[in-house]
Chain A
Amino acid sequence: MSEMKTIHSLEELEELAEVLREEQKSKSRITVCTGVACSSLGSEELAKELSEESKNLENCEVKKVGCKGLCALGVLVEDDKNMYHSLKKDDAKNLLAMMEGTQESSEYILSKDIPFYSKQKKIVLENAGYIDPDSLDDYIAADGYKALFSAISDMERSEVIDEIKKSGLRGRGGGGYPTGLKWSTVEKAIGDQKYVICNADEGDPGAFMDRSVMEADPHRVIEGMAIAAYAVGANKGYLYIRAEYPLAVKRIKLAIKRAEKFGLLGENICGSGFSLKLDVRLGAGAFVCGEETALLSSIEGKRGTPTPRPPYPAESGLWGKPTLINNVETYANIAPIIRNGGDWYAKIGTESSKGTKVFALTGQIKNSGMIEVPMGITLEQIIFEIGGGMALGREFKAVQTGGPSGGCIPRDHLNLEVDYENLKSVGSMMGSGGMIVMDESSKMVEVAKFFMEFCMSESCGKCVPCRVGTVQMYEILKKISKKDGTRKDLALLEELCDVVRNTSLCGLGQSAPNPVVSTLRFFKEEYENLLVESRCHISISKEA
Chain B
Amino acid sequence: MATKQVKTLKIDGMDISSIQGSSILEVAREHDIYIPTLCFVEGLCAVGSCRLCLVEIEGSGKLLPACTTQIYEGMSVITNSEKLLKYRQMILSLMFAERNHTCAVCVSNGHCDLQAMLQILHMDHIKVPYMFPRLKVDATHDRFVMDHNRCILCSACVRVCDEIEGAHTKDIEGRGIKSNIITDFAQNWGDASSCTTCGKCVQVCPTGALSEKGKAVSEQLKRRSFVSYLKSMREDVL
Contacts and interface: CB of A to CB of B under 8 A. Distances in A.
Real complex partners, A and B?
A: yes
Interface of A: 286, 288, 303, 307-308, 310, 456-465, 467-472, 475, 492, 495-496, 499, 502-505
Interface string B121-144: 000000111010000000000000
Contacts of A468: 94-95, 97-98, 131, 177
Interface string B172-191: 10111111000000000000
B20 to A, nearest CB: 14
9 contacts: A307-B48, A461-B175, A461-B176, A462-B49, A463-B49, A464-B94, A464-B95, A467-B98, A503-B91
A471 B132 CA distance: 13
Contacts of A469: 94
A503 B153 contact: no
A286 B175 contact: yes
A493 to B, nearest CB: 10
B51 interface: yes
A310 B90 contact: no
B97 A499 contact: no
Of A460, A469, A503, A504, most buried by chain B (CB within 10 Å of CB) is A503
Interface string B148-186: 000011000000000000000001101111110000000
A219 to B, nearest CB: 35
A475 B132 CA distance: 13
A504 B49 CA distance: 9
Top 8 nearest A-B pairs (CB, nearest first) are A461-B179, A459-B176, A468-B94, A308-B48, A308-B68, A499-B90, A461-B176, A468-B98
Contacts of A307: 47-48
Nearest to A510: B62
Contact of A495 (B90, B97, B98, B153): B90
The A interface, classified by DSSP as helix, strand, loop or mixed, is helix
B69 A308 contact: yes
B175 A459 contact: yes
Interface of B: 47-51, 54, 63-65, 68-70, 87, 90-91, 94-95, 97-98, 127-129, 131, 152-153, 171-172, 174-179
Nearest to B65: A308
Contacts of B64: 308
Contact of B54 (A461, A495, A503): A503
B35 to A, nearest CB: 14
A480 to B, nearest CB: 14
A463 B69 contact: no
A528 to B, nearest CB: 21
A471 B175 contact: no
Given A461-B178, A472-B129, A504 B51 contact: yes
A286 B175 CA distance: 10
Q: Which of B98, B172, B177 has the most CB of A within 10 A?
A: B177
Contact of A505 (B49, B87, B177, B178): B49
Given A465-B94, A503-B51, A310 B176 contact: no
Given A462-B49, A464-B95, A472 B54 contact: no
Given A468-B95, A470-B176, A492-B128, A462 B51 contact: no
A467 B87 contact: no
B159 to A, nearest CB: 13
Given A310-B70, A468-B177, A505-B49, A461 B153 contact: yes
B210 to A, nearest CB: 19
Nearest to B178: A461
B176 A456 contact: yes
A471 B49 CA distance: 17
Contacts of B47: 307, 462
A371 to B, nearest CB: 34
B129 A475 contact: yes
Contacts of B49: 462-464, 505
A174 B160 CA distance: 36
B176 A458 contact: yes
Given A459-B175, A461-B178, A468-B98, A499 B91 contact: yes
A286 B64 CA distance: 25
B69 A461 contact: no
A503 B177 CA distance: 17
Given A308-B68, A308-B69, A457-B176, A467 B91 contact: no
Nearest to A475: B129
A456 B54 CA distance: 22
B87 A472 contact: no
A67 B50 CA distance: 45
A364 to B, nearest CB: 31
Contacts of A502: 63, 87
A424 to B, nearest CB: 14
A94 to B, nearest CB: 51
Contacts of A504: 51
Given A456-B176, A461-B153, 15 more contacts: A288-B175, A303-B172, A458-B176, A459-B177, A461-B179, A462-B47, A462-B49, A464-B152, A467-B179, A469-B94, A475-B129, A492-B127, A495-B127, A496-B90, A504-B51
A465 B177 contact: no
A465 B91 contact: yes
Nearest to A479: B129
A105 to B, nearest CB: 53
B53 to A, nearest CB: 11
B91 to A, nearest CB: 5
A499 B153 contact: no
A492 to B, nearest CB: 7
User: Of B69, B87, B128, B171, which is in contact with the most chain A CB atoms at under 10 Å from its CB?
Assistant: B128
Residue of A307, A460, A461 most packed against chain B (CB within 10 A):
A461
B158 to A, nearest CB: 10
A467 B152 CA distance: 11
Contact of B87 (A470, A475, A492, A503): A503
